[in-house]
Chain A
Amino acid sequence: MSQEGQADAPRSAAQDIPSWLLEPEHYEPARDRDGFIGKSMLSITGVLASFRLDDGRANRFSPSAPAKLIVGLGIILLASLSRNYFFVLVLLAALLVRACVLPARALKRVAAVSAGAAGLTFLIMLPAVFIGQSQSALLVATKVLVSVGCALTVAQTTPYNELTAALRVFHVPNLFILTIDLALKNIVRLGDIALEVLTALRLRSVGRSRDKRSSIGGVGGVVFLKTNEAAQTTYDAMCCRGFEGDYPTPPARPWRAVDAAWFAALAAAVVLFAFLQGAVS
C-alpha cells in the first residue's frame, strides 16, 4: 500500500462516522441498588481476614497452643463450677490483665463479644434482681464474662493451624482433625471464589438491573459447583500422595519452657478454688 493510501484511510473513516456518534453523550446510569452485594463482599472479606490474619504471634510469655487449650478449658471449668464470687473476681482480674496486653484488634473483639454476652446474661437474670437476688445475677453475669472472654482470648491469639496441631497432641481422632482442617481450608478457598464472583457481578452490570437479586442464586450455584470440584481434586491429590487417613505423628516438641509457669498458675487457681469453695460450704 502506498503512503497516500495509508493517510487517506483514517480521514475517510472520520468523514464516515455518523454525526450522532460524534456528539458527546451525558449518560449517567441510574444508581443501582446493589447494597446487598457490597455487604456480602464485606462480610466474606471479614471472615477471610480473620482466618488469614490472626493475632497469634507468640511472644516470650505466651504458652504453646496445647498449653493454651488446657489452661483455657481449666479456667472456664473452674469459673463455671465456682460458687464463690471472690474466686470468679480473681479469674476476672487475671483475664483483664491479660486483655491489657492483647493486640488492639483482638482486644476490640474480645471486649465487644464478652461484654455483650455478659450484658445479655444480666438482662436474662434481671428477674433475680427484682426478687432480691442481685448477687446471683451478678455472679452469673461475671462467670459468663470470664468464660466467654477466656475462650475468645484463646481463639484470637492462636492461629487455626496451631489449634488443630494442638488437638493432635491430645490424640483426637485423625478423621476429626482432617475434617476440621479441610473445612477451614475450603472456607478460605470458597470464600475467595465467592468474592470473585460477587466482584464480577458488580463490575459487569451498568445501570439499574431488576434481576440482580436473582443472580445471587447464581453465585451460590457457582460456589457449590466449585465445592464439588475442590472436593474431587483434593481426594485425587490425596490418593496420588498415598494418603490413608493418618496424620503424621505429633510434632516432636509441642511444649515450651514457659508452659510450666502457666500450668503452675492454673494449679494455684485450682488450690485457691478448693480453698474458697470450702470457705463457702
Chain B
Amino acid sequence: MHIPENYLSPSTCGVFGLAMIPIWAHAIKKVRATVPREKMPLLGVAAAFCFLAMMFNIPLPGGTTGHAVCGTLIAILFGPWAATIAVSIALIIQAVFFGDGGILAIGANCFNMAFVLPLVGFGIYSFIVGRTKKTLVSELAAAGVASYVAINAAALCAAIEFGVQPLLFTDAAGQALYCPYPLWISVPAMMVGHLTIFGAAEVVFTVGILAFVRKAAPSFGVETAVDKPTGAKALTPVYVLVAALVALTPLGLLAEGDAWGEWSTEDLAEMVGYTPVGLGDGWEWSSFMPDYSIGGLPDIAGYLLSAVIGVALLVIVFRLVAAAMKPSVSFD
C-alpha cells in the first residue's frame, strides 16, 4: 500500500502533504495531552510493531504481495492520534532510509495508513466495545473487526488516489503521465487482496499481538490499570516479542513479486506498453538501503539488518521525543 515515487502527480502529493499538516499538528496536541511522558518510549515500541508488520510481505496468487499495517493495534493501545504519529514516523523512516514508498508521496501514504486507518479502526473498535460486555474475548473480536474494516478503508483510499491519476493527467496522445490504471482497474485490484488475504493478515497481527500484550504485559499501553505491575520488568515480554518478530522478518522475503502499484518503472512499462512520462523523467530519492537490501549480499542479511535498524531508530526517536517533552508534575 506504499505509494511509490512518481505514481501520483506532484499536485496530488502536494494536496495530501498540505492536508496532513493540520492533522499532524492536531495529533501532536492530542498526544501531548493524553500520552504521559514516561509512556512515549513505549509508543516507539508500538511503532516498531507497525514497521515490522509492514515488512512481512504476503503473496497473493497472481504475483502481487501485500502486508499488514497494525495501525488499529496502536490506536487501541495508545489512542488514535498517537497511532497517527507513530505510523507516520514509521512511514517516514521507511521512505527515507529504505526507499519503501516515495518521499513526495509521504503525505498521501500517511493520509491512508496513518490517518484513515487508525481513526476508522478506533472508531469501530470503540463503537463495538461500548455496546458489549467488557471481556477479553469481546475486546479481541472488536479489534479484529475494526482492523479488517480499517485496512480496507485505507486500501480503498490508496486505490482511489491511484485511480484518479489517469483520469486527471494525460498527455496529448491520451497516455497517462503517472499511474496508468484508472479507477475501474485500481479499485478492484487493490480491494481483492485487502478484502481477502491482507485483511486477514491484519486481523491476525492485530488480534494476536493485542491478546499477547493484554495477557503478558498488561501495562503496555496508555490506559494502565493501577493494580497492574509497571516498570521495565513488566514489559520484558513485549521486547521479547519485538526481537522475535525481527528474527522472523526474512519470512517476508518468501513472497515473490511486487505489491500492486509498487512496480519498478521498467516492469510497469512492460505491463502497459509505454513508460508514463512522469515516471520516466521523475525525480527519485536514493535511499541508503533501497528495498531493504544491499547490492551483492543475500537478501536475508539486508532484510534482518533493515529490521534491526528500523526498530532501533523508532525506539530512539520516541525516546528523544520523551526526553524533549517537559515533565508534567501534578501537585494536586
Show the binding face of A for B, using Cβ within 8 Å: 85-86, 89-90, 92-93, 96-97, 99-100, 104-105, 107-108, 111, 134, 138, 142, 279
Contacts and interface: CB of A to CB of B under 8 A. Distances in A.
Interface string B287-316: 011000010110001100100110011011
A100 B239 CA distance: 12
Contacts of B286: 134
Main secondary structure of the interface of A (DSSP, over half): helix
B289 A96 contact: no
A93 B316 contact: no
Nearest to A279: B296
A99 B312 contact: yes
Contact of A111 (B308, B316, B322): B316
B320 to A, nearest CB: 6
Contact of A100 (B289, B296, B312, B322): B312
Q: Which of A96, A134, A142, A279 has the most CB of B within 10 A?
A: A96
A134 B287 CA distance: 10
Contacts of B319: 100, 104, 107
B38 to A, nearest CB: 10
Interface string B309-332: 100110110011011100000000
A142 B323 CA distance: 25
A87 to B, nearest CB: 10
A138 B286 CA distance: 10
A67 B89 CA distance: 36
A279 B294 CA distance: 13
Contacts, number: 48
Contacts of A104: 319, 322-323
Contact of A89 (B296, B305, B316, B322): B305
Contacts of B309: 89, 92-93, 96
A107 B323 contact: yes
A51 B320 CA distance: 22
A134 B286 CA distance: 8
B190 to A, nearest CB: 33
A86 B294 contact: yes
Given A86-B294, A86-B297, 6 more contacts: A86-B302, A89-B294, A89-B305, A108-B324, A111-B320, A279-B296
Quick one: which of A89, A90, A134 has the most chain B CB within 10 A?
Answer: A89
Nearest 4 CB-CB pairings of A with B: A96-B312, A104-B323, A93-B308, A100-B315
Interface in B273-292: 286, 288-289
Nearest to B304: A93
A90 B316 contact: no
B238 to A, nearest CB: 13
Contacts of A86: 294, 297, 301-302, 305
A89 B289 contact: yes
B96 to A, nearest CB: 12
**A86, A90, A97, A142 interface centre (most CB from chain B within 10 Å):** A86
Given A86-B294, A89-B294, A96 B308 contact: yes
A96 B313 contact: yes
Contacts of A111: 316, 320
Given A89-B289, A93-B309, A108 B320 contact: yes
B323 A108 contact: yes
A53 B27 CA distance: 36
A102 B270 CA distance: 50
A218 to B, nearest CB: 38
Contacts of B296: 279
A97 B312 contact: yes
Given A86-B294, A142-B288, A279-B296, A93 B305 contact: yes
A26 to B, nearest CB: 34
Contacts of B316: 96, 99-100, 107, 111
